Amino acid sequence: MPDRDDADLTCVEIRDETEFRKHRDDPRACLHILDGTYPVISSTARIKSIFSGARVEQVLGRTRIGSLRGSTSVQVIGAEAVVDCVCDSAAIGYLRDAATVRRLCDSARIGFASDRARIRSVEDWSTVGSVAGAARIGGVRDQCRIGDVRGAATVALVTGQAAVGSIDGDAVIGSLAGSAAVHRVGGAAAVTATGTSRVHAYGGSVTATPLVTVYRHAPAARIAGGTVIDVSRPGTDPLAWAEHAGVRTVDGVLVLYRASGDIEGSRLTSHPLAGDVGRAETRFVACAVDVADAVVVDEETVTARSWRVLHEVDESGNRV
């Protein structure tokens, strides 16, 4: 739908679905949706804003919305709908089909973007939970977070201090720049990294410039360039594991942690909240484990034949 100068339109405040139906196809109207419940919004009239008082399930058709504001939440935006700006703490549950969000900013959120959906710019502290299908994000910057990118999805640019939790499948990050980070690359995913960015590679391919730090977590990862730190084999030697995990060692004794309620288990971790040990617990203890009794399980966990409880600690490992 072509843009129209708002000065040539009549502003109409919408507070219920009856008012919306009356004006939704009025070419002279500029709608401000303030209140009410709307199972489906499909309109050829210009919708200037949707505010927190409105409850919207779906936005479909070729609807054009200027902004979602406040704490408003829309469950689905699909078809060829366009939202110019999702701002404040507004949220979209599912962006699908060929729908477009031009700007996601402030602390706004999109839960899931799929199909051929487009998000042109993700800014400030906003977040996108998951990107899949053939969905595409243009730029991700500032302190933004993307949970996972998968399928054939593409993110053109991730920069600033933005971060991507994981990228998998055949997904692509065209440029990881600035001090941005990708915490897991897997499958056949591809990342091109520059600046002082960081990448944790478990699979896929990473192409990096010299100042990029790439952590190789598995031999399957294909890495070209960058400063590569191989952490794929922390080894079975408990002392080497302790150095890798940052565990304090005193006279051949490791200081490890376990949940205070875990009476039968033999696993201990490098941090009270590390691994799968004690995640549902609220109380933890520090334990002394002789190096000779420790058996390495993974990057965060060992088992031990015996240990000695030293004292109770908080979630950060500080004595209480």
**83-88: long-range pairs with CB below 8 Å, 24+:** 83/59, 86/110, 86/126
- The pLDDT assigned to 193 comes to 98
- According to the model, what pLDDT value does residue 2 have? 42
Using CA atoms, how far apart are residues 258 and 216, in angstroms rounded to an integer?
A: 28
**H/E stretch holding 242:** helix 238-245
**Residue 38 corresponds to which tokens in the numbers above?**
């709307």
* 49 vs 269: which has the higher pLDDT: 49
CB contact at 8 A, 41 and 23: no
Long-range Cβ contacts of 127-130 (<8 Å, 24+ apart)? 128/104
| pLDDT at residue 254 greater than cutoff 90 | yes
pLDDT score for 157: 98
The tokens for 271 are 């941090």
Supply the pTM of this predicted model.
Answer: 0.80
Check residue 170 and give left, alpha or beta (phi > 0: left; psi -120 to 50: alpha).
alpha
Helix (H, G, I), strand (E, B) or coil at 18: helix
> For 57-116, what is each residue's pLDDT tens digit?
999 999 999 999 999 999 999 999 999 999 999 999 999 999 999 999 999 999 999 999
Closest by CA to 268, choosing from 232, 244, 297, is 297
Least Cα distance to 135 among 77, 96, 186, 92 occurs for 96
Average pLDDT over residues 262-278: 70
Whether 34 and 13 have beta carbons less than 8 Å apart is answered as yes
Q: What is the DSSP letter of 71?
A: T
How far apart CA 163 and CA 134 sit, in angstroms, is 20
Each residue's pLDDT tens digit, 161-182? 999 999 999 999 999 999 999 9
Q: Which residue has the higher pLDDT, 209 or 53?
A: 209
What confidence score (pLDDT) does residue 86 get?
Answer: 98
- Confidence band of 243 (pLDDT split at 50, 70, 90): confident
